[in-house]
Homo-oligomer: A and B are copies of this chain.
């Protein structure tokens, strides 16, 4: 299955195939697309990837991506640095930023505890989080992890760590429930069950809607 017209094409297809979810056919389609474009498209593409990896650093405070030492969120004086939202990765951080509903800072774990994938707490940025809680006067930690076994395990691990060190910080988890705009009859039972258990006063939802 490896009869490419030239070695160069082969190398480019191989490079694409190393990306997640890209097979040989898709890789080939992308390479042929680039071949049809003017030369500078490929050049800019290649350079953008190289520079991105070489010049991107991680924020020393929250492990977000940045081009200096401290990211734009951590260095923003208007944000509440006593309120920390814990996320799995930068994609989740970006998603929360898009909501425009959070004015605290973040802590990027870089993953969730997943024994199946061989990821333990030591592979995550948990130590720096605990260090921050010990040395600074953090008021609240909001766990914004996926509603999966792995996400829940990670939240529980951090919760236990906090108890273990006797740290006094408010520990909360983002609300789980029926998505806005969803038909109740199509919601899965677990989500629906949780949304009844975690019901909130009607005035609260009204306040949230009014704000947005």
A200 within 8 A of B: no
Is A190 positioned at the interface, with any CB of B under 8 Å from its CB? no
Q: Are B43 and A53 in contact (CB under 8 A)?
A: yes
Q: A31-B52, A52-B34, A90-B32 are in contact. Are A15 and B44 (CB under 8 A)?
A: yes
- Asked whether A8 lies within 8 Å of B67 as measured between CB atoms, the reply is yes
Query: In the assembly, how many copies of this chain are there?
Result: 2
Known: A48-B12, A54-B42. A90 touches B1 (CB 8 A): no
Contact indicator A56/B8 (Cβ below 8 Å): yes
Contact with B along A1-19 (1 / 0, CB 8 A): 1011111110110110011
The reply to whether B52 and A12 form a contact with Cβ atoms under 8 Å apart is: yes
Do residues B64 and A28 form an inter-chain contact, with CB atoms below 8 A? Answer: no
- Tell me whether A211 is interfacial, beta carbon within 8 Å: no
Q: Is the CB of A8 within 8 A of B64?
A: no
Contact with B along A179-195 (1 / 0, CB 8 A): 00000000000000000
Cα distance A43–B95 when bound, in Å?
28
Task: Say whether A9 contacts B46, CB under 8 Å.
Answer: no
The reply to whether the CB of A66 lies closer than 8 angstroms to some CB of chain B is: yes
| CB neighbours of A72 from chain B (8 A) | 5-6
Q: Within the assembled complex, what's the spacing in Å between the Cα atoms of A82 and B21?
A: 41
Asked whether B30 lies within 8 Å of A67 as measured between CB atoms, the reply is: no
Query: Do the beta carbons of B19 and A52 come within 8 Å of each other?
Result: no
Contact pattern, A 144-169, Cβ under 8 Å of B = 1, otherwise 0: 00000000000000000000000000
The distance from the CB of A35 to the nearest CB of chain B, in whole angstroms, is 6
- How far apart are A74's CB and chain B's nearest CB, in angstroms? 11
A93 to B5, CA, bound (A): 9
Indicate if A60 sits at the interface (CB-CB under 8 A): no
A22 to B56, CA, bound (A): 22
A127 beta carbon closer than 8 Å to chain B: no
Residue A47, interface by CB 8 Å: yes
